[in-house]
Structure 1
């Protein structure tokens, strides 16, 4: 699959071959959905908590005697039916973690990248760099490359890309991500995927 490579001014400089094993893989919707559900579930903290009747303060004394009052028997004013009492069948801290084999996770990424490639949503640049950390410089470059579309910008490493990271921080429809941290949620959250050739090499190294 031949795709064009642009410079930061939006000019075509050459073409490169995208590996079909990554960018023309079979599209498995069920696998992508499973990977997405796993990622969202693993992002949950699971720290929600409510108090049971054993944890609510007070209620140590029986509110009235068992028999002879004409009222229903009660053992504690902190039982669930009382105002201020404990709660039953309510959330307590637990993990939402889901597991998924690495082979399946990577196959889901290949499917997602293949979808992006089939939609011509992958934009390659020969070198991603700005002279100084200015938002307007990065905004101008991205507007040239992707127009009004939201963009996921992949970089191979943080070193030597500090200006790009700082210049992108205030762009609301853009996210900087290390190519080694590529994930299913971000791939489908943004319209376009912008990456320098060095980031493409990183993706090839673990998905190829």
Structure 2
């Protein structure tokens, strides 16, 4: 498929070829959903934890005898209705990690990129990385490209000037191509890429880069 390259003033320069297996597949909505939910779930710490009446310190002796006093029945001081007692039905430490097969992760990212490409929401910019880490330069570029909503700026490698300049914009996020993920791609209305980022993405998630299953060998593609 073709992607249009613009300069920082928003002028169309040329078109480049992009790998269909990365930017031109039919998006798999089910896999996209699973990958998104899994990634968001993996961000949860799950550290909230309370002690039950069996875990707090305190005597297990019955407070008073069961009958004959004309007052309510009471057990131990560690019961949940006593101050300092255990918590009834409180949060417990939980592991929210969800793992997905590598093939599904790759398919999900390809589907996300292809969905943006089909909607015309991928913009390739020549000269996106500023010479100085000035926010106004990146802001002017995005304005010239009519990018006014949440945008994901992707460079081929880590670019400190672009990262620092883009960090002051609340509607922009900067990532190197190797850190591209389903959540950030789907949350962005526009993907603003350098041409180097396009080639890096193709190299990382293109069809020739599929790794063999563990224990198997495949011949290198000629």
When structure 1 is superposed on structure 2, of 19-28 and 113-122 the one drifting more is: 19-28
Partner of 1:117: 117
Partner of 2:175, secondary structure, is strand
The answer to whether residue 22 in structure 2 is matched with residue 22 in structure 1 is yes
Would you say the 8 A contact 2:147–2:190 is kept in 1?
Answer: no
Deviates more, 1:139-148 or 1:99-108: 139-148
The offset of 1:131, in angstroms, is 2.5
Residue segments in structure 2 that go unaligned for 5+ positions in a row: 207-222
Shift of 1:74: 2.4
Whether 1:91 aligns to 2:76 is no
Query: CA separation in 1, counterparts of 2:3 and 2:19?
Result: 11
- 1:25-64 alignment, distance < 5 Å: 25-64=25-64
SS of the residue 2:82 aligns to: coil
Aligned to 2:214: none
Look up the SS of the partner of 1:76 in the other structure: coil
Indicate the residue corresponding to 2:205 in structure 1: 207
Deviation at 1:83, TM superposition (A): 4.8
| Counterpart contact for 1:122–1:193, Cα < 8 Å | yes
Shift of residue 84 of structure 1? Answer: 4.3
State the aligned residue count. Answer: 206
State the distance in 1 between where 2:174 and 2:147 align. Answer: 17
Q: Deviations over 1:140-178 (max 9, x none)?
A: 0111124312210011212xx221111111100000012
Q: TM (normalized to structure 1)? A: 0.92
Q: Give the structure 2 partner of residue 104 of structure 1.
A: 104
- 1:152 is matched with 152
What does the per-residue CA deviation read over 1:46-98, in whole Å, with 9 as the maximum and x for residues that have no partner?
A: 10011211333445542212332234442212212435421233221121000
Structure 1 residue 184 displacement after superposition: 1.1
Instruction: Report the alpha carbon displacement of residue 115 of structure 1 after superposing the two structures with TM.
Output: 0.8
* 1:127/1:197 contact within 8 Å kept: no
Deviates more, 1:5-14 or 1:95-104: 5-14
| Residue in structure 1 matching 2:188, options 173, 186, 190 | 190
For structure 1, list consecutive stretches of 5 or more residues without a partner in the other structure. Answer: none
Deviation at residue 207 of structure 1 after TM alignment? 1.3
Equivalent position SS for 1:54? coil
